[in-house]
Structure 1
Amino acid sequence: MANTQVQEIELSIIILNYDTKDYTLKCLKSIEDHRPEFPYEIILVNNGSKRDRAECFEGLYPELRVVDLQKNVGFGEGNNVGMRLARGRYFLLLNSDAFYFDDSLQIAYDYAEANPQIDVFGCSVLNPDHTPQDCTFLASPRSSVLASALNIWNTNVVVRKLGLSNTKIGRGELGGLVGCYVFLKREVFDSTGGFDPDFLIYCEETEWFRNRISKAGFRLGICEQARIVHLVGGSDPSGTRFKQNILSNYLYWYKFGYAAFFINLLGTLVNLTIAALVTPLVGEKERPTHLRLLRTHLEVLPQVFFDLLRYPNGFGSRPSALAIKEYQS
């Protein structure tokens, strides 16, 4: 009699596609080219793509399941959709512009099996030239509140001039992982509910890790032997992604707590005032960027006052994700 027992899925890999067909195909092929020894599945969520059709991906690989969403529900909720459908003991949230070049998928699984005390972990994230990318963020909310209040990465001209806006963290300060690669146990999702759907994109992983994963007592780690290459696009200080990043940052501190939010808001207003006053002192070469940055921050503020503050700051409190008008369908 033939053995018809279905093999248990060990790992569910969740990938989002939003009109990134070429990257997504390359990502899928990199997994296929470095197949692990354990049973796995790939859940590809076509997140309301305007150009890419789900049929472009269906049937490419036997492990692949394609979920076609009619609208863009955001990075976090798109991953939630995949995790709700996942059958694996472990989940891997992987960006469509992240690629394998060795057997790091097997290495990560072996790390998870050998370290049951670690509930969520990242890997070594590399640029295309294999130089390292920052893949973690601060554990201390107090220092982050202070930094956010000062807005040292956005509006504080003096601090940016001194090159102090990128905070490096030590091994003992791990507070969370960037969303391009997150390897987690199923129970982490089951216990915390996943990403807050109020975020369209940006800051959703920060909220999940700081506000719920850490408070639930789950332990974080890094499997440095596992590696991926991650493509990172340049940032335009007047672009839509930059504007959405600013808005999502306000939402994060609103979720963190009312005091943190208003400290952040006050710090921003003070720094915007300073930035406006020192504009004549900014060099001619830097002035256009300085003015675009200042203008972008000012464009976001009305939505902070008249949209963000309309709803409570609990999990999933909004009818849809908070988005700048360029992303509203």
Structure 2
Amino acid sequence: MQLSVIILNYNVRYFLEACIRSVQAAIAEMDAEIIVVDNNSPDDSCDMMQRTFPEIQLIENIENVGFAKANNQAVKLAKGEYVCILNPDTIVAEDTFTQLIKFAQSKKNVGAIGCKLIDGSGKFLPESKRNIPTAMVSVKKIMGTKNSGYYSSLEENEIGKVDILVGAFMMMKKSVYDQVGGFDEDYFMYGEDIDLSYKIKKAGFQNYYYGKTTVIHYKGESTLKDKTYAKRFYGAMQLFYKKHFQRNLVYDVAVTLGARLIPLVAPSEKNTQKEVHKCVFVSDSVERFQQISNLYHPINCVRVENLGHFLSQLKGKKKVEILLDTHFVNLKDSIQIFEKQFGYYKIYPKSSTFILGSDSSKSRGEVLLLNESKNGS
């Protein structure tokens, strides 16, 4: 088998379904498998999996064992030559995996490979490619210093060597994952990807960023930017520093204080009310358009098959919500439309009963059930 896609889920049932549908499209012509681990979600994620995807291997944990341990569970069962660690709040393009495997096969001594990640508004996520958070970099990052050196200077659409990749999307040979011991289970949430990337480099492999394929990472679904996040994130950085760098009293004190003080002053992010004057449903289906129109009433909603022509005549684009029917627009083209940052976006996944999207990487997205009223995610 060529590829095993590992998806760890916690309480994001609709985003998980959309993610799986995108992965299924991407592996349709490959010898590949999907393994889903659920960390005791209180929603109906597992019921959905058994009902909608009975053919997919599902690991149901009876408690939340954290990111590292859950992914390690799944990788032990993986049959693929390559494994891809994938967040449930992501949407991949139809050719994402084939591009990356072809690239991996063209290089020697490849470690982990990442790709370009954007949020639900189409904005590039700089954590797609990072440098090693040395003591000095860690202190600058914690203190909020501009140009701290935390992110790689590689251009977002380029291909090149990087130190650290993000756990929302990491692909590598299973043999590499096994050789370095997988994710370090001392981390519960956050920091595991930094630690794994660094272990891969220390083992003599080279990590790569591949900016020629883009994946949507809604991010707010799995990473709410509040004080709890700040406490866990900076605590993880402190753990990484202690594990991998020689002790230095000044830096040790600075990182320790930062990890403890920053969470106290970190602002909690809240959803802000957006202003939508028009919605545009990109589709060839009158029936599906009727479903969408019912959801958006009384907002003016129009159906178009040529989005580019419509937008060229439109002013105030940021007040437009663009709904992409993936029965009509494939995922790769949908992602490219996201990257143009025309307005707000939602996706209607194939064979689903909902649409979803997120307007910020720092707050929760929105799920709308077809033929029903609005529902939070």
User: TM-score, length-normalised on structure 1?
Assistant: 0.70
Distance 1:169 1:257, change over 3 A: closer
Residue equivalent to 2:98: 106
2:161 & 2:97 partners in 1: Cα distance?
Answer: 26
Flag the 1:272–1:179 CA change in 2: closer, same or farther, 3 A. closer
Q: Give the residue type in structure 2 aligned to 1:292.
A: V
Indicate how the Cα distance of structure 1 residues 270 and 89 shifts in structure 2: closer, same or farther if over 3 A, else same. closer
Structure-2 residue corresponding to 1:169:
152
Q: How many pairs are equivalent?
A: 259
Letter aligned with residue 122 of structure 1: G
| TM-fit CA distance, 1:257 | 3.9
User: Could you tell me how far 1:167 is from its partner in structure 2?
Assistant: 3.7
The sequence identity of aligned pairs, in percent, is 25
Partner of 1:123: 115
C-alpha distance in structure 2 between counterparts of 1:207 and 1:270, whole Å: 21
CA 1:119/1:169 → structure 2, altered by over 3 Å: closer, same or farther?
A: closer
Q: What is the CA deviation profile of residues 177-236 of structure 1, one whole-angstrom value per residue up to 9, with x for unaligned ones?
A: 0111101001112211100101001111111222x2111111211232222111122754
Superposition pairs of residues 201-280 of structure 1, within 5 angstroms: 201-210=189-198, 212-233=199-220, 236-237=225-226, 239-257=227-245, 259=247, 262-268=249-255
Change (3 A) 1:115 1:166: closer
Find the partner of 2:38 among 23, 42, 46.
46
Match of 2:77 among 58, 70, 85: 85
Point out which structure has higher relative CO (alpha carbons under 8 A, 6+ apart).
Answer: 1
**Distance in 1 between the 2:263 and 2:164 partners?**
30
Which residue of structure 1 aligns with residue 334 of structure 2? none
- Among 4, 7, 25, the residue aligned to 1:15: 7
Q: Which consecutive unaligned segments of at least 5 residues does structure 2 have?
A: 155-159, 268-377
Partner of 1:320: none
Answer whether contact 1:37 1:106 (CA < 8 A) is retained. Answer: no
The aligned counterpart of 2:265 is: 292
Instruction: State how far apart, in whole Å, the 1-side matches of 2:35 and 2:256 are.
Output: 43
Whose helix proportion is higher, 1 or 2?
Answer: 1
Q: CA offsets per residue over residues 60-117 of structure 1, 9 Å max, x none? A: 3475210111111111111111100101111010111110244222222322333354
SS in 1 for 2:142: coil
State the distance in 1 between where 2:4 and 2:13 align. Answer: 20
Match of 1:146 in 2: 136
Where do 1:305-316 residues align within 5 Å? none
Task: Identify, as 1 or 2, the structure richer in strand.
Answer: 2
Q: Kindly tell me: are residues 37 and 243 of structure 1, through their superposed partners in 2, closer, same or farther at Cα, counting changes over 3 Å?
A: same
Which amino acid in structure 1 is aligned with residue 95 of structure 2? D
Normalised to the residue count of structure 2, the TM-score between the two structures is 0.62
Q: Distance in 1 between matches of 2:53 and 2:259?
A: 51
Work out whether residues 15 and 89 of structure 2, in 8 Å CA contact, stay in contact via their aligned partners in 1.
yes
Structure 1 match to 2:130: 137
Query: For residues 269 and 45 of structure 1, do their structure 2 counterparts lie closer, same or farther at Cα, with a shift above 3 Å needed?
Result: closer
The 4+ residue runs of structure 1 with deviation greater than 6 A are 269-273
Q: Distance in 2 between matches of 1:18 and 1:271?
A: 29
- Matched position secondary structure for 2:188: coil
Quote how far apart the aligned CAs of 1:59 are. Answer: 5.5
Alpha-carbon separation, structure 2, partners of 1:180 and 1:26: 15
Change in 2 beyond 3 A, CA 1:250/1:90: same
Question: In structure 1, what is the Cα distance between the partners aligned to 2:142 and 2:253?
Answer: 14
Q: Please give the alpha-carbon distance, in whole angstroms, between the structure 1 residues aligned to 2:245 and 2:255.
A: 17
Compared CA separation, residues 99 and 290, structure 1 to 2 (3 A):
closer
Deviations 1:138-168 (A, max 9, x none): 14x6xx21122xx333346xx3xxx445744
* 3-state DSSP of counterpart to 1:48: coil
Q: Which amino acid aligns with 1:60?
A: T
Please tell me whether the aligned partners of residues 67 and 188 of structure 2 are also in contact (alpha carbons under 8 angstroms). Answer: yes
- Worse-matched range after superposition: 185-194 or 263-272: 263-272
Structure 1 177/290 Cα, relative in aligned 2: closer, same or farther at 3 Å? Answer: closer
